[in-house]
Amino acid sequence: MKPTVKFKKLNANAHVPTYGSSYAAGADLYSAEAETVIAPHTTVFIGTGIAMEIPEGYMGLIFARSGLSCKRHLAPANKVGVVDSDYRGEVKVALHNHSNEPQKIDAGERIAQLVITPFLSVNFEEADALDDTQRGEGGFGSTGKK
């Protein structure tokens, strides 16, 4: 059974998130703003015009849309946005223009994709020692080619 995510339209320009196919993991989020121009190497918050009630134990992850990021160099500034289940404000996307050209976002344009996923909330316990592993303290690139 699929979980239900309630949403509320906050303005007349808001669009219902939509899936591009039956097996798509991410639902497209749409701009509810008037035409917006994002200058080169700057970030603009784009409102979707919707608020959500994500079920407890789930979160929303906001990812780039591949076409927008690869063809127009527009992607979420924070790489992956997180929408917590207790947040009830407008879902916004911090869209960054990585190109050297201004990029225009039209009203109603798909600007990002939202993945709803379960998560684990954990307890953090301070310890004097941690169990040994084969990797140990090997950091970035330590499990790659030798």
Q: Please write the tens of the pLDDT for every residue from 73-115.
A: 999 999 999 999 999 999 999 999 999 999 999 999 999 999 9
Q: Which CATH architecture has domain 6-117?
A: Distorted Sandwich (2.70)
* pLDDT (0 to 100) of residue 79: 95
| Nearest CA among 1, 28, 3, 2 for reference residue 85 | 3
Q: Please write the tens of the pLDDT for every residue from 33-52.
A: 999 999 999 999 999 999 99
Domain ranges of the chain: 6-117
* pLDDT (0 to 100) of residue 37: 97
Q: Strand locations in 64-127, DSSP E?
A: 74-76, 81-83, 90-97, 103-105, 110-118
* pLDDT (0 to 100) of residue 64: 97
β pairing state of 90-97 and 58-63: unpaired
Which DSSP symbol is given to 55? P
Is 57 within 8 Å of 13 (Cβ atoms)? no
**What predicted TM-score, i.e. pTM, was given to this entire model?**
0.89
Question: pLDDT over 70 for what percent of the chain?
Answer: 97
User: Is pLDDT above 80 for 143?
Assistant: no
Q: Quick one: tokens of 55?
A: 């079920």
